[in-house]
Chains A and B, each alone.
Chain A
């Protein structure tokens, strides 16, 4: 045994010697590739044989585009020890021992995963823990090292997150261009390459760009379409100046340069507008610059998707913004920004939630001719322990200390006495996943489907949701044996566009959902419409279009559909599928259509009530919930919208 390697960083260095620099520069033609891909999945003419030429996506591929491992500085400090390789093994269905020593396995494998560790300080944690002299020479580095070593990692983690938000990081913090940084990135790439198995399991190469100035969350996950030979030609973009920037506009420049340099397409997925304190979806200016056409065009080029639900809350709609939406109050995080250093003000909400961004996007489109907020929807976990375990009855928490334990329901996640922002661990959500309608389980097919926004978000359930819009859907279409074939032939799928309204016609939608085979029945499908009127004001309306138990459940006064009921036994953490339906399908026509007004439509599918993870914890671990703890929920899916543009 030759003792010339010691630190974890050095392990990572091994990757360097095999770095594939030899690959030639390659320019991809995005335009034509897109067109070909679209034609492939959206056949225009039906063949005689209903099964011939059926190359549209037949099943959604479930995955997580947002997972951290011990390679993320804060995750490591929180006690994460699992690596990117462990994360991929877990996602593809293997049983692992968690960071706290518990056996854990998914109920069924996922189809794909992106390990998205923070690009700032890639490999920081292994460096800190190996006692790197540069880092330990700084008071902060020394303090964190000692805190973690003496079992106060959570304090160190919060301190790291806050220092990062303030731009106060120690010297010796790994930066792009340094050996430690490069080797950590190479290890991330090698992990993805080792577990990517086209056709069976897709391991994407990616990272998270963590813009967090002042604790206001503008994070984006970056995903590479191609393999490690290409992704290895660049190093991730960071936020620390002077190499990096906290301004998304600079990230988009980096993305353009990266596509040029590597020949790999990249895309960015923003998340957690709910802790951006009014900055995620700006209307007037961002970083001192006016929102203009160029901003809108560039944002739409790179940010085709938005993560609408995850462990730090769900950001589809807010009860204050949508007071008549009875399902808006779902896993809401609205107390402050990411690190609790600034409390929330009500006027911030409009610029944080997906539905209001869709509405404001219509306004901006009317002014700028381009809609910067025309994004599709996905979910993600944002777990910081390498375990994408987001089922209510199998929830392994957001961080290592939040893995199952009798205490995890009663502790505070963070508590800022200065601002009064306090979030309890029980408020962390067991959510979510992304469903992608890809033609096959490969990096390329999944990426292309993400780019065309043919995706939906779920809060952890694996229900199947179809949503098509067109001008000619009729009721008999829902009885067709191949609803998807009709959908693709007569319309566009979720994420698509409707234009040129034929005279006298209104948008029609074919929408269907099938429950998760091991999950709960469905309560209802809703279509949510938003539009911009002639005066320039935006509106929203929610339509219940089809629901379970329809034989005995009729809309009452003012068209309100009665509740589906509730079979949850909280004390025993059980429920029964005796209410709701396993499958819902309908054709819906917009009764209030005005061909002159911009609009968007998306579907929200709601399950019957089921126990929340807190109920399983109370039952299995005997934890006593604090007053006010949410113990049940209605899981749901949100599709990407279909937009109508006059």
Chain B
């Protein structure tokens, strides 16, 4: 409860409410009775707390009086500024308000915690995200030139792979690599081609960043859905991100319904994604 009172927004809302109330009340009659700025114990507590955090001690009586006086002064000036419209057409004020609204929406989204069944549902509906990638195991023989690789293929067929190929730092045997890792080792084109090769026979030449390769695919592992427990953190993160995006979008859609955006004919081409709403 106490923390709420130290929140700027709460103040904003309280004061906003007061202002609204005051406005209505003022407009009851034609007389202009004084408007109300209510300073409660909660405000004073907040002022004292802020001070304490900054100076690492409680404010003295006198300091507190100063704080309250400043607060009243600032508040009245701010209200008067609003009254005469100083907040309008002010980039800083507008941006700040928009940002407060955004933070509010985002924080609300972030605060929501899904139930276990909701996470399960996300995990079940998007299994592709939580799969281990397909993996491949293969043997490769390296050649500097394509011609040598073609000759090599014939030799391998006759005599086996043992004595064939040029020297290379690349390994001969690669076990359970996914396509992405394979691409970081040999280049993308090689990875794509090797993943498409028929297993258990020498094929090639397959070109890579280094030269030409004869390849024999020895095994293949299909993607496996990872256990829910193993990927729960990831599912939760995905849920939060999706939730945030959804809330942002819904909120803004709501705003677009609430407001009618009216634009000049010349402005319409500039409306981008809002072209359809800019009637």
Q: Which residue of A lies closest to B95 (CB)?
A: A149
Question: Could you tell me the distance between the alpha carbons of A58 and B176 in the complex, rounded to whole angstroms?
Answer: 13
Q: B124 at interface (Cβ–Cβ under 8 A)?
A: no
B278 to chain A, nearest CB (A): 21
Q: Which residue of B lies closest to A196 (CB)?
A: B233
Query: Within residues 170 to 221 of chain B, which ones have a CB less than 8 A from any CB in chain A?
Result: 170-173, 180-181, 183-188, 208-211
Cβ of B106 and Cβ of A11 under 8 Å apart? yes
Question: Could you tell me the distance between the alpha carbons of A517 and B169 in the complex, rounded to whole angstroms?
Answer: 13
Contact with B along A131-145 (1 / 0, CB 8 A): 101100100000000
Q: Which residue of B lies closest to A129 (CB)?
A: B99
Contact with B along A84-113 (1 / 0, CB 8 A): 010000000100000000000000110000
Q: A583 at interface (Cβ–Cβ under 8 A)?
A: yes
Cβ of A59 and Cβ of B234 under 8 Å apart? no
Q: A348 at interface (Cβ–Cβ under 8 A)?
A: no
Query: Within residues 563 to 607 of chain A, which ones have a CB less than 8 A from any CB in chain B?
Result: 582-583, 585
Most buried by A among B95, B111, B211: B111
Q: Which residue of B lies closest to A178 (CB)?
A: B53
Question: Could you tell me the distance between the alpha carbons of A7 and B233 in the complex, rounded to whole angstroms?
Answer: 25
Once A149-B95, A517-B209 are accepted as A-B contacts, the answer to whether A6 and B233 lie under 8 Å apart by CB is: no
Question: Could you tell me the distance between the alpha carbons of A137 and B237 in the complex, rounded to whole angstroms?
Answer: 37
Query: Within residues 6 to 62 of chain B, which ones have a CB less than 8 A from any CB in chain A?
Result: 7-10, 13, 50, 53-55
Residues of A within 8 A of B210 (CB): 514-515, 517, 582-583
Cβ of B8 and Cβ of A131 under 8 Å apart? yes
B1 to chain A, nearest CB (A): 10
A575 to chain B, nearest CB (A): 15
Cβ of A194 and Cβ of B103 under 8 Å apart? no
Q: Which of B4, B169, B183, B237 is within 8 Å of A514, CB to CB?
A: B169
Q: A481 at interface (Cβ–Cβ under 8 A)?
A: yes
Q: Which of A10, A171, A197, A464 is within 8 Å of B234, CB to CB?
A: A197
Q: B96 at interface (Cβ–Cβ under 8 A)?
A: yes
Once A131-B96, A518-B187 are accepted as A-B contacts, the answer to whether A464 and B8 lie under 8 Å apart by CB is: no
Q: Which of B54, B99, B111 is within 8 Å of A134, CB to CB?
A: B54
A446 to chain B, nearest CB (A): 16
Cβ of A8 and Cβ of B237 under 8 Å apart? no
Q: Which residue of B lies closest to A462 (CB)?
A: B184
Q: A57 at interface (Cβ–Cβ under 8 A)?
A: no
Q: Which residue of A lies closest to B238 (CB)?
A: A194
Question: Could you tell me the distance between the alpha carbons of A8 and B102 in the complex, rounded to whole angstroms?
Answer: 10
Cβ of B234 and Cβ of A194 under 8 Å apart? yes
Q: Which residue of A lies closest to B211 (CB)?
A: A582
Q: A172 at interface (Cβ–Cβ under 8 A)?
A: yes
A294 to chain B, nearest CB (A): 35
Q: Which residue of A lies closest to B251 (CB)?
A: A1
Q: B91 at interface (Cβ–Cβ under 8 A)?
A: yes
Residues of B within 8 A of A513 (CB): 169
Q: B249 at interface (Cβ–Cβ under 8 A)?
A: no
Q: Which residue of B lies closest to A516 (CB)?
A: B209
A585 to chain B, nearest CB (A): 6
Cβ of B110 and Cβ of A466 under 8 Å apart? no
Question: Could you tell me the distance between the alpha carbons of A585 and B170 in the complex, rounded to whole angstroms?
Answer: 12
Q: B167 at interface (Cβ–Cβ under 8 A)?
A: yes
Cβ of A5 and Cβ of B184 under 8 Å apart? no
Question: Could you tell me the distance between the alpha carbons of A464 and B91 in the complex, rounded to whole angstroms?
Answer: 52
Once A108-B184, A517-B185 are accepted as A-B contacts, the answer to whether A194 and B237 lie under 8 Å apart by CB is: yes
Q: Which of A8, A149, A171, A195 is within 8 Å of B103, CB to CB?
A: A8
Q: A559 at interface (Cβ–Cβ under 8 A)?
A: no
Once A59-B185, A194-B234 are accepted as A-B contacts, the answer to whether A5 and B104 lie under 8 Å apart by CB is: yes
Given contacts A3-B10, A582-B211, 11 further A-B contacts (CB under 8 A): A6-B9, A11-B106, A11-B107, A51-B173, A109-B180, A134-B50, A134-B54, A149-B91, A194-B236, A197-B234, A479-B167
13 contacts between A and B (CB under 8 A): A3-B10, A5-B9, A58-B171, A85-B237, A130-B103, A134-B54, A149-B91, A171-B54, A193-B233, A515-B210, A517-B210, A582-B211, A583-B169
